[in-house]
Amino acid sequence: MQPNLHPQAMLINRTQREGLNGHRGLCIWFTGLSGSGKSAVANRVAQLLHEKKVHIYVLDGDNTRMGLNKDLGFTEPDRKENIRRVGEVCRLMADAGLVVLASFISPFKADREAVRELLTNDSLAEVFVRCPVEHCEARDPKGLYKKARAGEIRDFTGIDSPYEQPESPELIIDTEKTDMETCALEVVNYIIPRLKL
């Protein structure tokens, strides 16, 4: 911490905010390869939770790179900073009593662990969206794999940059073998019991 900075004590705390919302604040962190279905599942989960009157927000990798992180590229240090910033936002949102659904490739274990350390009271759950790179590449919804294979994109996760699979995520959903709706319901069924105050 900077020597001239001092934490400001707040009059309203997390417990009070969660009480007003009627549920705990949580961060559900979706990690997986590009094209694995992270954003599609997170968006459907958000819709299902919204219908249940849960206060939610979705943070998506592409969207944050168009605003909060638009100054970052895709080098390893920039990816690390991308995840660090998003982790801080998730910490604030969970502290506000929201359920934040964070959808990020987040290929490096150390970066995901750093996010976990930011969030307290068991308020982070890592969801590994498992899908083999061959299947993601066959889908290629944004045409990124094609560009990576053509050398137009460098350091592309799964092609010329590694993806370190989570070793012990709270939940694994398999989007190669399971349809998106079923995957979303799996996540919702995991979240609902954990919202209780």
Q: What is the pLDDT of residues 119-168, one digit of tens each?
A: 976 899 999 999 999 999 999 999 999 999 999 999 899 999 999 999 99
The distance of Cα 7 from the centroid of its chain, to the nearest Å, equals 27
- Does the annotation mark 34 as catalytic? no
Query: What spatial distance separates the first Cα and last Cα of the chain, rounded to whole Å?
Result: 32
Segment 3-58, tens digit of pLDDT:
888 888 889 999 999 999 999 999 999 999 999 999 999 999 999 999 999 999 99
Whole-number pLDDT of residue 1 = 60
Q: Residue 129 is encoded by which pair of tokens? A: 């969206």
What whole-number distance in Å separates Cα of residue 50 and Cα of residue 174?
24
For residue 94, the number of C-alpha atoms closer than 13 Å in the C-beta half-sphere is 24
3-state secondary structure of 59: strand
Q: Where are the domains of the chain?
A: 14-131+165-192
Mapping DSSP to helix (H, G, I), strand (E, B) and coil, where does residue 40 land?
Answer: helix
Which fold does the domain 14-131+165-192 belong to in CATH? Answer: Rossmann fold (3.40.50)
Q: Which of 103, 106, 123, 161 is catalytic?
A: 106
The dihedrals phi and psi of 174, each to the nearest 5 degrees, come to: -110, 100
The b-or-e profile of 19-42 (16+ CB within 10 A means b, else e) is eebebbbbbbbbbbbbbbbbbbbb
E-strand stretches of 62-190: 99-103, 124-130, 171-174
Per-residue confidence (pLDDT) for residue 121, from 0 to 100:
65
Question: DSSP assignment, residue 161?
Answer: B
Is this prediction's pTM over 0.85? yes
Strand-pairing partners, residue 103, are 30, 60
The pairing of strands 124-130 and 99-103 is: unpaired
Structure tokens at 64: 């944050």
Query: Alpha-carbon distance 135 to 32, whole Å?
Result: 12
The average pLDDT across 64-91 equals: 95
**C-alpha to C-alpha distance for 86 and 72, rounded to whole angstroms:** 12
